[in-house]
Structure 1
Amino acid sequence: MITYLLKSGLLLAVFYAVYKLLLENERMFRFNRAYLLGSLIFSLVIPLQLFSIASFFPSKIKTIQLDEIMIVANKSILNEVSYNQIVYFFLGAIYVLIAAILLIRFAVNVSSFFFKMKKNSVQFIDNQKLVLMKESILPHSFWNAIFISKEDFANGKIPSELIAHEKAHLEQKHTLDILFVEVLQIVFWFNPMFVLFEKAIKLNHEFLADEAVNRQFGEIKNYQNLLLDFASNKQTVALASTINYLITKKRLLMMTKKESVVKEIGKVFIVGVVCSLLLFAFNAEAAVQTSFNGKNNIDVNEKADVAQPQFPGGIEKFYMFVGQNFKMPEEFSKQKKDGKLFIEFMVEKDGSLSEFKIVKDLGYGAGEEAIRVLKLSPKWIPATENGQAVQVSYSLPITLQSAK
């Protein structure tokens, strides 16, 4: 899990840096929207290694690396392991607690919009749903409705450009983007990259809505002045698309920025290259190399038509089996040594274990004892590839801690 979080965090950081350096200042708003949302999905899916890229070069069959087993004869080490488990438990509890609080806040914010729709009067103008609020608020939109001040609307103080701006948010389904990012922030609340992505996505939403207004009315200068006048001393609303989100020099300048087709194509090409390199880099190490030799061996990780070997009851049961049957060699205990040994073995097509090999030994009979235990193993459920049983090689690290 930690490896997955580190990889996804690194991908998010790279994609965000590419956006800030290449895309944020370009008038390619629809591409930017797809890029930002795609970056989030890409960064969360690719580290899962649901698929792989086959290498163009032949490679040796790799051995599946099992998790480390620790066998201790020192009570202080057992206490340390128990302490670590307690720490992990409390960290997990803290994560769940914060995620639950954020989820409740999210649910309250979302439900508040639907409550406002029921509580206040509603009008339809040009097939657009307007919720007339009793309090003085800045026009904002959510889901399928625009929320405006009833008094300002009755007095004609809300320019049609502002209604058009919020209508553009609704027509382009910007609410879905915001809800998507908000959910990700609940799950990954510890990763600040999602906050940065949400800000970038919301700002790009404003670029898109501004573009729609200027195409409809064609009065850019008047619209810029209108935004500045109308948005002063107003408050934003959580989850909503609001007219005054980041009224900055960058947003105002973006309305008059000239487009360069050649420049934009070049940047899209660079982005494509970066995405391809990241896809290859994060899959190359775990690429499933399905290759056969004279014994019909196969290296198995994850693939639709490949099934890994299974110890009866699951891999955790295998670790328990080794730990319960391993007897610390007397001579090894006398030396009061610590260390890690590596054993390789093959799961045959009938599920039996064979070809035991001590890759790294600690001496004093430790490696031989590990092989003795593995020979006691019941038969595994063999691996299959395209419906046929195949052999699979494993590497098992075992850490030994003798009594002090």
Structure 2
Amino acid sequence: MTLVTYSLQAGIALALMYLFYRVFLERLTFYRANRFYMLGYTLLALALPFLNTGGLWPKRVERLSATITRLGVETRHAAPILPSGELPAATEPIDWISYVLLAGMVVLSIRLLVQIFSLLRLWDEASLAGRDGRIRLFRLPYPLAPFSFGPNIFISPQTQDSPDLQRVIEHEEIHIRQAHTLDILLAQLLLVFQWWNPFVWLLNQSMRQNLEFLADQGVLDRGADRKEYQYLLLSVSGQGVPSISNPLNFSPLKNRILMMNKPRSGKVQAMRFLFALPLLVVLLVAASRHRPTPAGDGLYHFHGFAMDAGNLQPIAGVLITEKTSGGSATTDQNGYFRIDIPLGQVKDFLLINAIAKKTGFRDQTIQSTIRLDSTGAPATKGVLTDFGMAAEGPETHSFVTDQVVDNEPALLQKDPDAMRLAFNSEVAGQKEMTKIRQAFDSSPHIFYVIDGKSYVISEHGGFASVDGTVKTVFVNGKTPMTGEELNKRYTKFQVKSEGAYDAVVAKEKFGIDENVLVVNLKDEN
């Protein structure tokens, strides 16, 4: 997940949460419930992009479909398809939006640090005037409106000599005992990460205003005269105060006075909080929808079957190590293996470079280029990578091939019938290819068209193929020619490796919107 994606998803959730508060809850006098609503839904919105709530909803149980599709581009080879330098390089565009987001976060972080530093400087200049348990009263050397931060109350000399001192202390004591400083700090941190979101600035204002409603109501509940207390608020309006504190004169005072004079909301109106439940469901459903399904959960499932290239029987105990990710797996009794490769920040293409080892067999190299779609998930779902290992000895034939199954790859491990079907499909394909390979062995040609598919082969029997008749073959990755021209100029004994690209990759690499084949020739020296 990118910074932009996270910021957008969290920002949308915060906007919905704020709009709900503004429409249904803001004018109610359930200040404590409003506080917990804003705190709870804010934390939920920040966590939402990381949640996968798909497990909360009923799932459709599926079995693997009996349909097996051979990939349009496949490669079977005894050597790597192409050197790593021949694999398509993904260009990394500059992510200007992320840079802008980070720049804004830096600016707001500096702003917050300056505010904290200013508060600490005031604290350093103040003198302790009294203590009640953990609550401490500090006197400032110059006039500021009364405020609190943490367990500390700050007052000016004028306030200390005022007959309203007791009401001021009661107001700030309520902020302290209810830990309102935590709300203030959360709101400030939220501004750092969501500085671009106008709803978060409005939410910050509403959160702080609701804290003042709570403190005002607490003072009135202790027996303060309503009008005298409101005159006290008016008397300190306009005085300076640190922005990350709980100030007595937090504006707009008009709203505070209106809410103090408003009759208490009845129990029937508390039913409005039930409307927050549909909002919760919407957010949780969104979390289950924007998160990838198990087939695209931020991982590429590199899996398939290992078999003996000679008799097409599964091989158990083959150790497959994927070098790029460092992941490894050992084949089971069915020859099946699975390695989950984190996609992370991979863009456009995932380059797989694996090696398979088993005593009594030649090491098998497996290289593949997996194209990713715009969401960062594999463009082709359900790919099985199968390979046949050559036994030690004069026989050098081996192969690597891909097949596509209709449903999620994970179902293979749960469904023996599906496992057997996928393996038998590969065996049938290999038997068919044995007949085709006989045609290769009887001729020195490199390029063939057999049963509607185009092939290029190398000296040791490795080959690559694509569906249809290929018009262009690239020699050494740069010289285009037709298959007929290739057969006239070169023989398979001059080919060290071969490969195939589908139209999408070929367009990016060669500028040709069609399937192409590639051969790399041995050095003439």
State the Cα distance separating 1:364 from its structure 2 match: 6.4
Letter in 2 for 1:400: K
- Tell me, yes or no, if the aligned pair for 1:138 and 1:243 is still in contact at 8 Å: yes
Structure 1 partner of 2:258:
253
Structure 2 partner of 1:16:
18
State the Cα distance separating 1:59 from its structure 2 match: 5.2
Among candidates 341, 347, 351, match of residue 321 of structure 1: 351
Structure 1: tracts of 5 or more residues without a match = 63-77, 290-298, 327-340, 376-396
- Tell me, yes or no, if the aligned pair for 1:166 and 1:209 is still in contact at 8 Å: yes
State the Cα distance separating 1:135 from its structure 2 match: 0.8
1:236-385 matches, within 5 Å, as 236-284=241-289, 286=291, 299=295, 301=297, 309=301, 312-314=323-325, 315=343, 316=346, 319=349, 321=351, 343-347=380-384, 354-356=402-404
1:17-96 matches, within 5 Å, as 17-58=19-60, 60=62, 84-85=93-94, 88=95, 91-96=97-102
Letter in 2 for 1:144: P
- Tell me, yes or no, if the aligned pair for 1:28 and 1:264 is still in contact at 8 Å: no
Residues 29, 399 of structure 1: alpha-carbon distance in 2 compared, 3 angstrom cutoff: farther
Q: Deviations for 1:333-365, whole angstroms, at most 9, x for unmatched residues?
A: xxxxxxxx9544434799x9742379xx99765
Structure 2 partner of 1:394:
none
**Corresponding residue SS for 1:52:** helix
| C-alpha distance in structure 2 between counterparts of 1:168 and 1:147, whole Å | 14
| C-alpha distance in structure 1 between counterparts of 2:469 and 2:227, whole Å | 85
Among candidates 117, 129, 135, match of residue 111 of structure 1: 117
| C-alpha distance in structure 1 between counterparts of 2:404 and 2:293, whole Å | 24
State the Cα distance separating 1:9 from its structure 2 match: 1.9
| C-alpha distance in structure 1 between counterparts of 2:200 and 2:259, whole Å | 24
State the Cα distance separating 1:273 from its structure 2 match: 2.5
1:62-211 matches, within 5 Å, as 84-85=93-94, 88=95, 91-127=97-133, 128-153=135-160, 155-156=161-162, 158-211=164-217
* TM-score of the superposed pair, with normalisation by structure 2: 0.54
Letter in 2 for 1:271: A
Letter in 2 for 1:16: Y
Letter in 1 for 2:38: L
State the Cα distance separating 1:285 from its structure 2 match: 5.7
Residues 158, 61 of structure 1: alpha-carbon distance in 2 compared, 3 angstrom cutoff: farther
| C-alpha distance in structure 2 between counterparts of 1:272 and 1:61, whole Å | 35
- Tell me, yes or no, if the aligned pair for 1:322 and 1:374 is still in contact at 8 Å: no
State the Cα distance separating 1:19 from its structure 2 match: 0.2
| C-alpha distance in structure 2 between counterparts of 1:245 and 1:9, whole Å | 26
Structure 1 partner of 2:486:
none
- Tell me, yes or no, if the aligned pair for 1:129 and 1:144 is still in contact at 8 Å: yes
Q: Deviations for 1:238-293, whole angstroms, at most 9, x for unmatched residues?
A: 1011111124333212113223443333111111222123312431464867xxxx
Q: Deviations for 1:164-197, whole angstroms, at most 9, x for unmatched residues?
A: 1111111111111111121222223222222111
1:386-397 matches, within 5 Å, as none
| C-alpha distance in structure 2 between counterparts of 1:19 and 1:32, whole Å | 8
Q: Deviations for 1:7-53, whole angstroms, at most 9, x for unmatched residues?
A: 22221111111100110000111111111111211112112234433
| C-alpha distance in structure 1 between counterparts of 2:44 and 2:470, whole Å | 48
State the Cα distance separating 1:108 from its structure 2 match: 2.8
Q: Deviations for 1:127-164, whole angstroms, at most 9, x for unmatched residues?
A: 431111111111011111111112441x3354321221
| C-alpha distance in structure 2 between counterparts of 1:214 and 1:279, whole Å | 39
| C-alpha distance in structure 2 between counterparts of 1:28 and 1:349, whole Å | 64
Aligned positions, number: 330
Residues 399, 39 of structure 1: alpha-carbon distance in 2 compared, 3 angstrom cutoff: farther
Higher strand share: 2
* TM-score of the superposed pair, with normalisation by structure 1: 0.69
Structure 1 partner of 2:9:
7
- Tell me, yes or no, if the aligned pair for 1:144 and 1:170 is still in contact at 8 Å: yes
Q: Which has the higher contact order (CA 8 A, sep 6+)?
A: 1
Structure 2 partner of 1:400:
507
With 107-116 and 170-179 compared, the bigger mean Cα shift is at: 107-116
State the Cα distance separating 1:122 from its structure 2 match: 0.7
| C-alpha distance in structure 2 between counterparts of 1:126 and 1:286, whole Å | 51
Letter in 2 for 1:160: Q
CA RMSD in angstroms comes to 4.0
Larger radius of gyration: 2
Residues 268, 92 of structure 1: alpha-carbon distance in 2 compared, 3 angstrom cutoff: closer
| C-alpha distance in structure 1 between counterparts of 2:348 and 2:221, whole Å | 66
Letter in 2 for 1:30: R
| C-alpha distance in structure 2 between counterparts of 1:257 and 1:273, whole Å | 29
Report the identity percentage. Answer: 24
| C-alpha distance in structure 2 between counterparts of 1:374 and 1:114, whole Å | 66
Letter in 2 for 1:18: F
Structure 1 partner of 2:459:
none
Residues 319, 282 of structure 1: alpha-carbon distance in 2 compared, 3 angstrom cutoff: same
| C-alpha distance in structure 2 between counterparts of 1:92 and 1:188, whole Å | 13
Structure 2 partner of 1:389:
none
Q: Deviations for 1:284-340, whole angstroms, at most 9, x for unmatched residues?
A: 464867xxxxxxxxx4638xxxx86365424449925379977xxxxxxxxxxxxxx
Structure 1 partner of 2:239:
234
| C-alpha distance in structure 2 between counterparts of 1:20 and 1:250, whole Å | 14
**Corresponding residue SS for 1:193:** helix
